[in-house]
């Protein structure tokens, strides 16, 4: 009978029903799910970035720390964490991200703003091009990037993907990045925050985009050099940006992004972990741990994601 510590108190009300149900579905109805425990008795820790638990040293018996978030940058460098760390790959979260990316891509592709805000009642019959004529590049072809690519391709957008390692049908490496940026009418960033990806979109790389390209960033704020983006928006090199994530969240009230006419701010809502589906992922990983099977979605500490 494993003891499972739910160490994300702010989320307990969301998970208190779905988790026992998912554990029972996974054949673990005898598991002890608690919000407080003697560290020496804990077998699994369910964690979220704002968790008060920051010192993992006393949890010497824990077989894994199971993160409720897809991004792990706020835990992966914790020096007290020696237990295996699993991140969240939640079908509900992926669906949400696909909807956000497709929705904002279509907004920019169809030029919807012109018609939604049209105080002068201008009759402009300019028809947008077809999706097949609007190349989209996705930086980061992992769980989320590849799902967004599939959805956009289904709408006929020509999608170029770029990631760290070689994958069929997607680019990698510095040359690959140059190619991927140079063809991006719309650029979507779905990379994790790591030392390698921080400020990936700097002035030099923004200059590689076709003039007037649109940027959608639902990945992490630190992927973009904010000063460089503001300058590129000013010069017209970048046409518009829709940003969901920021270096400081909530975005400070005086941040230039709030009032910039070419920037849309969404408050880190592109994709949330959904308790019912996420609880099944957690339960499956605990089942695996108990059966001695490899964990799903194990984080590689060396890579940082």
101 binds ligand NAP (CB under 6 A): no
Residue with tokens 């589906």: 277
Site size toward ligand NAP (CB under 6 A) is 29
Figure out which of the listed residues 190, 209, 243, 283 binds ligand NAP, where binding follows CB under 6 A: 190
Looking at the Cβ atoms of 13 and 165, the one nearer to ligand NAP is 165
Q: Which residue is nearest to ligand NAP (CB)?
A: 142
Whether 220 is catalytic is yes
140 binds ligand NAP (CB under 6 A): yes
37 binds ligand NAP (CB under 6 A): no
Looking at the Cβ atoms of 163 and 240, the one nearer to ligand NAP is 163
Looking at the Cβ atoms of 142 and 239, the one nearer to ligand NAP is 142
Contact 278, 70 (CB under 8 A): no
205 binds ligand NAP (CB under 6 A): no
Looking at the Cβ atoms of 180 and 283, the one nearer to ligand NAP is 180
197 binds ligand NAP (CB under 6 A): yes
Per CB under 6 A, residues contacting ligand NAP are 70-71, 89, 93, 140-145, 163-165, 190-194, 196-197, 218-220, 244-245, 268, 270-271, 305
């Amino acid at each position: 009978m494993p003891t499972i510590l739910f160490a994300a108190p702010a989320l307990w009300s969301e998970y208190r029903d779905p988790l026992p149900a998912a554990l029972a579905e996974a054949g673990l109805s005898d598991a002890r799910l608690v919000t407080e425990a003697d560290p020496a008795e804990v077998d699994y820790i369910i964690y979220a970035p704002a968790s008060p638990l920051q010192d993992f040293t006393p949890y010497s018996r824990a077989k894994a720390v199971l993160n409720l978030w897809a991004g792990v940058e706020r835990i992966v460098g914790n020096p007290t964490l020696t237990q295996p760390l699993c991140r969240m790959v939640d079908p509900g979260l992926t669906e949400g991200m696909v909807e956000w990316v497709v929705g904002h891509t279509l907004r920019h592709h169809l030029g919807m703003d012109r018609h939604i805000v049209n105080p002068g009642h201008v009759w402009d019959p300019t028809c947008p091009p077809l999706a097949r004529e609007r190349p989209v590049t996705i930086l980061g072809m992992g769980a989320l990037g590849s799902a967004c690519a599939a959805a956009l391709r289904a709408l006929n957008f020509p999608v170029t993907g770029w990631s760290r390692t070689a994958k069929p049908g997607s680019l990698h490496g510095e040359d690959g990045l140059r190619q991927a940026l140079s063809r991006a009418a719309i650029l979507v960033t779905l990379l994790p925050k790591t030392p390698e990806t921080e400020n990936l979109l700097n002035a030099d790389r923004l200059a590689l985009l076709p003039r007037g390209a649109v940027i959608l960033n639902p990945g992490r704020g630190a992927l973009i050099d904010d000063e460089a983006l503001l300058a590129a928006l000013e010069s017209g090199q970048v046409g518009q940006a829709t940003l969901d994530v920021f270096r400081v969240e909530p975005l400070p009230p005086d941040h230039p992004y709030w009032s910039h006419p070419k920037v849309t701010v969404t408050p880190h809502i592109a994709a949330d972990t959904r308790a019912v589906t996420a609880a099944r992922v957690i339960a499956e990983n605990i089942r695996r741990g108990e059966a001695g099977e490899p964990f799903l979605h194990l984080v590689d500490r060396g890579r940082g994601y």
